[in-house]
């Protein structure tokens, strides 16, 4: 174990009798972790420290020293890093840290920040995750070398780079949770300082996707390999040619054997070793030929097959995908902005609590000039209910009219009874607002603008 020591004197400290003299913070350095050492209750300073190492050699210790400086530079003056742990990454180049951050003004409050470095040698990092620690926050071991943190119904999974690092972070997290319980730091109450960090989330899409990675999926996409084999190259060619054949042939009068023969002629190789792959791809292609339903100019409703059809997504200007399933993985995390609502299609599932967030996600896509695909497994119940809820709020429509509009464009839509009851509850919530529901016969596209509605409410309260 090695140590870092920081000194900090700021203008606030000079005028504070509790901060007379030079304040120091010491950090214990272990493999993959930097831990703040409390020094006899000494007050935490008010300016970001300028770290100076004591007895540090080269190599990993110097790297952590530089990384710590970069991460602290992104904090507010009144906030302190209690613990920084390095996490595993799917990238061989990028480096990730999880920070536990506390603030001097509210001793019971803390939050988790995810920090991303583009490379080990980089001295610059960005924020990729902000996760407040509430009184309901729970920490669980995942049995696979990592742990999960569930906070206000949001779950994130982390895998530290060593057992020692895991032990350090678990001890610190449990302490944070206990303080949050004692301070009654309930979701929606306090931790307003987390907003500052949310505004400064600047990591790229690859990093953001890794912070929000899903676990416990029932089907997982295959990871692409850097060096493809000869078979993989042939399979890609089969897939491309197969789609062209199925677009141009009469599918009611062609057999799978005839399709294989057509592939052999086009590609020029014997297809006997690819029979199973071809049959499977034919079924996938058939499913993907069932187009997603266009609900609004910027809103599509569909199935998992539509979510897996990259060419179709691009054609429809889709930049955002809302995945409302427990079963289906995100197919193209490097290419689209995803939001995951991990639920099953059962009546007991709570969808209502997610609709404010899904509304904001769809609105963000529209604001950025891109379309959004909302999907579940078949585009019948979970995703359909979520789209209906969006229409009720965005367009000001009644439940009956929104459901009729969606079914007109996608006749198979059938929310389960539990979701229908939640939509009725949501209708009551929306109709109770000063800006009432708009009748279909008086509908105008821009008559219900969320930003305007919020300002009207503020004006009335004032």
Catalytic residue ranges: 376
Question: Token digits for 67?
Answer: 């990384």
Residues 6+ apart with CB under 8 A from 292: 300, 301, 302, 303, 306, 312, 316, 373, 375, 379
Rg, Å, the chain Cα set:
27
Among 59, 57, 72, 47, residue whose Cα is nearest residue 3: 57
What span, in angstroms and rounded, lies between the C-alpha atoms of 119 and 140? 29
Q: What angle do the packed helices 399-409 and 382-394 form, to 10 degrees?
A: 130
What span, in angstroms and rounded, lies between the C-alpha atoms of 149 and 155? 6
Residues 6+ apart with CB under 8 A from 98: 84, 85, 87, 112, 113, 114, 115, 129, 158, 160, 169
Asked whether 219 and 328 are in contact (CB, 8 A), the reply is yes
What span, in angstroms and rounded, lies between the C-alpha atoms of 127 and 60? 22
What span, in angstroms and rounded, lies between the C-alpha atoms of 370 and 362? 10
Question: Token digits for 63?
Answer: 């790297």
Cα dihedral 141/142/146/151 (nearest 10): -70
Class of residue 207 by CB neighbours under 10 A (exposed 0-12, middle 13-18, buried 19+) = buried
Class of residue 459 by CB neighbours under 10 A (exposed 0-12, middle 13-18, buried 19+) = exposed
DSSP-assigned letter for residue 7 = E
Alpha helices in 43-132 (DSSP H): 60-72
Reported residue count of the chain is 462
- Scan for tokens 């009546």, then name that residue: 347
- Scan for tokens 């970069």, then name that residue: 70
The HSE-up count of residue 181 (CA atoms within 13 Å, CB side) is 9
Sheet with 147-151, edge to edge strand ranges: 138-141, 147-151, 154-158
């Amino acid at each position: 174990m090695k140590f870092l020591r920081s000194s900090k004197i700021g203008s606030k400290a000079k005028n504070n009798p509790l901060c007379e003299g030079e304040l120091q913070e010491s950090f214990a350095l272990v493999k993959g972790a930097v831990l703040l050492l409390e020094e006899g209750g000494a007050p935490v300073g008010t300016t970001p420290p300028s770290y100076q190492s004591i007895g540090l050699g080269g190599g990993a210790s110097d790297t952590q020293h530089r990384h710590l400086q970069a991460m602290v530079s992104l904090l507010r003056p009144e906030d302190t890093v209690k613990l920084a742990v390095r996490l595993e990454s799917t990238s061989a180049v990028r480096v990730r840290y999880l920070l536990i951050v506390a603030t001097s003004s509210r001793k019971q409050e803390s939050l988790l920040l995810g920090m991303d470095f583009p490379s080990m040698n980089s001295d610059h990092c960005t924020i990729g995750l902000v996760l407040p620690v509430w009184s309901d926050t729970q920490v669980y071991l995942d049995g696979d070398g990592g742990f999960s943190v569930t906070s206000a119904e949001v779950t994130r999974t982390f895998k530290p780079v060593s057992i020692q690092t895991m032990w350090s972070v678990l001890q610190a997290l449990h302490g944070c949770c206990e303080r949050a319980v004692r301070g009654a730091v309930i979701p929606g109450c306090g931790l307003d300082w987390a907003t500052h960090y949310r505004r400064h989330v600047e990591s790229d899409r690859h990093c953001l996707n890794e912070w929000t990675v899903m676990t416990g999926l029932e089907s997982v996409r295959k990871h692409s390999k850097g060096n493809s084999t000869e078979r993989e190259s042939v399979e890609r060619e089969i897939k491309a040619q197969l789609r062209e054949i199925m677009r141009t042939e009469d599918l009611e009068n062609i057999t799978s054997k005839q399709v294989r023969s057509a592939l052999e002629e086009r590609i020029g190789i014997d297809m006997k070793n690819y029979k199973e792959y071809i049959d499977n791809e034919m079924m996938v292609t058939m499913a993907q030929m069932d187009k997603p339903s266009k609900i609004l100019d910027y809103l599509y409703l569909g199935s998992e097959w539509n979510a897996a059809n990259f060419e179709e997504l691009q054609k429809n200007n889709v930049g955002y995908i809302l995945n409302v399933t427990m079963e289906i993985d995100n197919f193209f995390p490097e290419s689209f902005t995803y939001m995951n609502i991990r639920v099953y299609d059962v009546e007991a599932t709570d969808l209502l609590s997610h609709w404010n967030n899904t509304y904001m996600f769809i609105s963000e896509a529209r604001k950025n000039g891109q379309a959004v695909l909302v999907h579940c497994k078949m585009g019948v119940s979970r995703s359909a209910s979520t789209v209906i809820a969006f229409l009720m709020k965005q367009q000001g429509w009644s439940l009956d009219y929104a459901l009729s509009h969606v079914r007109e464009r996608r006749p198979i839509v059938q929310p389960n009874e539990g979701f229908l009851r939640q939509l009725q509850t949501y209708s009551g919530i929306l109709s109770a607002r000063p800006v009432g529901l708009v009748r279909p016969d008086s509908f105008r596209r821009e008559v219900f603008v969320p930003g305007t509605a919020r300002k009207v409410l503020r004006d009335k309260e004032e």
